[in-house]
Amino acid sequence: MAGLGNLLSDDTNQFGPGTDLTVSILAVMLVISLITSHLYTDEKSRRQLTERRNQDLVAKTAALSRAVDDAKTAERARSAELTELKNPAPGGNFKLAAEFFTAADFHARPVTRVLDRRGTAARVARIVDDYRRSSAEYPYIFVIGHSSMLDDPDAADRRENARRSRNMEYALRRAALITAMMQEQLTAEENERLVAASTGEFDLRNPAEPLSQENAWVEVVFGREWKLPRN
């Protein structure tokens, strides 16, 4: 029996004492390594996804920043253009008044009436004040009426020349109304330098939309010259 026990002991522990423990530890280490590798792969994938998202955000932010810069540049250009018109460089022949009048300031029929007489008179007064500050350089006042290409729906003559003639007249009537209101606030000498004119539909403010009433407006411009001096 003793010999049989020794035989069994030798078969069971042929690699020596502690073999089972070593194998168990190696198995645990293998499992830990697999888990660690899996966690690392997941973390690497998440990091790459985060980096791609960050790159997309950076690109979108840069594009938005460029768009904002372009918009600011365009706005500064428009502001500079308007400032140049209102405050021309020395030597310019014209200066744009700070106020103007749109079709919305006038009744549709007749065009020789304004909707807000008091408010319009206050704006005319500001134009007169502006003129007097500039009259040493720009002694003449031009009140210019403009029209859209929109025709009178009740007109009997629908030909193009007839429409142009009507729009020329309507624009002049609006300019003449503003001119008359300015005459009430100007001196006799200043009125000698006041000119009313009409471009009709030949100087559209918004050529892309010729029928828009944005084109029917009255502008006031101060000028250096108008006619030959008297002898």
pLDDT higher for 178 or 46?
178
Contact 157, 219 (CB under 8 A): no
Q: Work out the angle between the directed axes of helices 160-183 and 117-134 (0-180°, nearest 10).
A: 80
Question: How does 115-151 read in b/e, with b if 16+ C-beta sit within 10 Å?
Answer: eeeeebeebbeebbebbeebeeebbbbbbbbbbbbbb
Q: Is the pLDDT of residue 97 over 60?
A: yes
Strands (DSSP E) contained in the chain are 94-102, 140-146, 194-200, 217-223
What is the model's pTM? 0.59
Q: Is the pLDDT of residue 14 over 80?
A: no
Mean pLDDT for 182-194 is 94
DSSP SS3 for 145: strand
Q: pLDDT tens-digit profile of 125-156?
A: 999 999 999 999 999 999 999 999 998 888 88
Q: Which CATH superfamily is domain 91-223 in?
A: OmpA-like domain (3.30.1330.60)
Residue type present at position 163: R
What span, in angstroms and rounded, lies between the C-alpha atoms of 3 and 115?
A: 128
Q: CA nearest 175: which of 156, 203, 152?
A: 203
What span, in angstroms and rounded, lies between the C-alpha atoms of 196 and 107?
A: 19
What pLDDT score does 109 carry? 77
pLDDT band at 25 (very low <50, low <70, confident <90, very high): confident
Mean pLDDT for 62-86 is 69
pLDDT band at 218 (very low <50, low <70, confident <90, very high): very high
Going by their DSSP bridges, the two strands 194-200 and 217-223 should be labelled as unpaired
Give the list of residues 6+ apart from residue 178 with CB closer than 8 angstroms, or none.
101, 120, 124, 143, 218, 220
What pLDDT score does 8 carry? 47
Q: Is the pLDDT of residue 74 over 80?
A: no
Contact 172, 198 (CB under 8 A): yes
H helices of 87-155, where?
117-134
Q: Is the pLDDT of residue 111 over 90?
A: no
Q: Of all residues in the chain, what percent carry a pLDDT higher than 70?
A: 82
pLDDT band at 16 (very low <50, low <70, confident <90, very high): low
What span, in angstroms and rounded, lies between the C-alpha atoms of 105 and 178?
A: 11
What span, in angstroms and rounded, lies between the C-alpha atoms of 182 and 18?
A: 115
Q: pLDDT tens-digit profile of 30-64?
A: 778 778 777 778 777 888 888 888 788 778 777 77
